Amino acid sequence: MEQSLIDEADRCVQCGLCLPHCPTYNLSLSEAESPRGRIALIRAMASGALSISKSLNAHLSRCLGCRACEAVCPSEVNYGGLLDNGRAWMRQHPTGKIKNDGLTSFLIHTFTKPNRLQFLGRWLARYQGSALQGMVRTSKILGHGKLRGLEEDLPSVPTQSPLQQDYPTPGLSRGTVGLFTGCASSLFGRDVIVAAIYVLNRCGYSVHIPQDQTCCGALHQHYGEPQIARRHCESNIAAFSKPGVDAIISLASGCGATLSEYGTLATQKGSAKSFVNKHYDISDFLNHISWPKGVQCAPLKETVAIHEPCTMRNVLRCEQAPYQLLKRIPELEIKPLEQNDQCCGAAGLYNVIHPQLAASLGAQKREHLSTSGATVLVTSNIGCAMQLGAVIRKTSLNIRVAHPIELVAQQLGKGRDTKNEGHL
């Protein structure tokens, strides 16, 4: 792997065009916190010129993995791949000096295992609905560190019944889609999943939710465990290979970005290619199909600010899809959130691992939200929704956070449509 890291790093001509686009460089104005600096560090590490150290790890760890640098690089440096492989190389090096910390490991290995996640979900729903939460907060038992921040920032977790495997369309069938539900999304974004099933069914698509699907692998891939990421990738390719699945739909752009790169991750390139060719973000899919006559959104007189997740802009490259989809709602005023090219600070587990840096990035979004005039903030990624929701809860801003599919479902009648949603 050393030589491939060096070869990729050597594609960087050190022009510096990426620096103004890098959130960590903008915060620190330090070369070592810039894409160019990190590429040089990875090259030096792989060539043996620099030994593995906690300081080197810190520079790579503070990278958001937002890939804003990659999107503007004229030399087309595969920065995302370089970072993932550099982190993996460091963690797997025989010196064994660098490991994920306890909280990070716990979260990765809980969120990516369905049984543990379901247990956590049930426990959180009870905890948040009881007097225990108030007692824990007033007792200060969690201290002032990362655990306390994590507890305070968690959105409420509803009590959840298991999802069915199949949701046939009540109308004339136009096809079947496989729905990728994700880990954090299935815990914190259940309303988004139900909204997606409702809209897809209304558009004539039956929804198949493979029960043996698993985590997309993003957390393992980005935190130095590519072998585990590959296992998840291959399990998902098998789970969605059922005949008759016309398209594979993801709801969270963080998961979608990883699914879209299964061609690189998988060992079986043929089946990975077929998976990737069928994969769409939900907004993108709904923009590609023709909608049945009579399926029309009711008007909504609100102002929506759209947050463009980095994974939507820099990996999936379909950040315009939610704008196009929401144009189906008459009278809705749609505007981009200012500085959408800068990460909100969610970035996987970044807001847990680097809470202060994430808070600085979140504060920038808060400023833009406060001048946006919006009553709804729309984002297509569950991690961004949680980060921005936590930012908003700490202010007096009266803005709710929604996925674009939730707004579309609401304006199609979900919640008062006994004819079409009885099965949900």
Site for ligand SF4 (CB under 6 A): which residue of 15, 49, 58, 298? 15
In one-letter notation, the amino acid at residue 135 is M
**Nearer of residues 64 and 305 to ligand SF4, judged by Cβ:** 64
Question: How buried is 143 (Cβ within 10 angstroms: 0-12 exposed, 13-18 middle, 19+ buried)?
Answer: exposed
Tell me the backbone φ, ψ of residue 415, rounded to 5 degrees.
105, -20
Can residue 14 be called a binding residue for ligand SF4 (CB under 6 A)?
yes
Contact status, residue 46 vs residue 9, Cβ threshold 8 Å:
yes
CA distance 379 to 113: 25
Indicate left, alpha or beta for 72 from its phi (over 0: left) and psi (-120 to 50: alpha): alpha
Beta-carbon neighbour count of residue 198 at 10 Å? 26
- Residue bearing tokens 């907004």: 283
Site for ligand SF4 (CB under 6 A): which residue of 42, 45, 63, 392? 63
CA distance 125 to 156: 7
**Nearer of residues 112 and 314 to ligand SF4, judged by Cβ:** 314
- Residue bearing tokens 């001509």: 13
Can residue 20 be called a binding residue for ligand SF4 (CB under 6 A)?
no
Candidates 8-16, 113-121, 136-144, 376-384: pick the segment binding ligand SF4 (CB under 6 A): 8-16
- Min dist CB 66 to ligand SF4, Å, is 4
Can residue 58 be called a binding residue for ligand SF4 (CB under 6 A)?
no
- Min dist CB 27 to ligand SF4, Å, is 10
**Nearer of residues 70 and 406 to ligand SF4, judged by Cβ:** 70
307-366: contacts with ligand SF4 (CB under 6 A): none
Contact status, residue 398 vs residue 375, Cβ threshold 8 Å:
yes
Can residue 12 be called a binding residue for ligand SF4 (CB under 6 A)?
yes
Can residue 414 be called a binding residue for ligand SF4 (CB under 6 A)?
no
Q: Determine the 3-state secondary structure of 307 from DSSP.
A: coil
Candidates 59-67, 135-143, 258-266, 360-368: pick the segment binding ligand SF4 (CB under 6 A): 59-67
User: In b/e form, how buried is each residue of 340-360, taking b as 16+ CB within 10 angstroms?
Assistant: bbbbbbbbbbbbbbbbebbbe
Site for ligand SF4 (CB under 6 A): which residue of 6, 17, 27, 50? 17
- Min dist CB 62 to ligand SF4, Å, is 8
Using CB under 6 A, list all residues that contact ligand SF4: 12-18, 21-24, 35-36, 38-39, 63-69, 73, 75, 77, 79
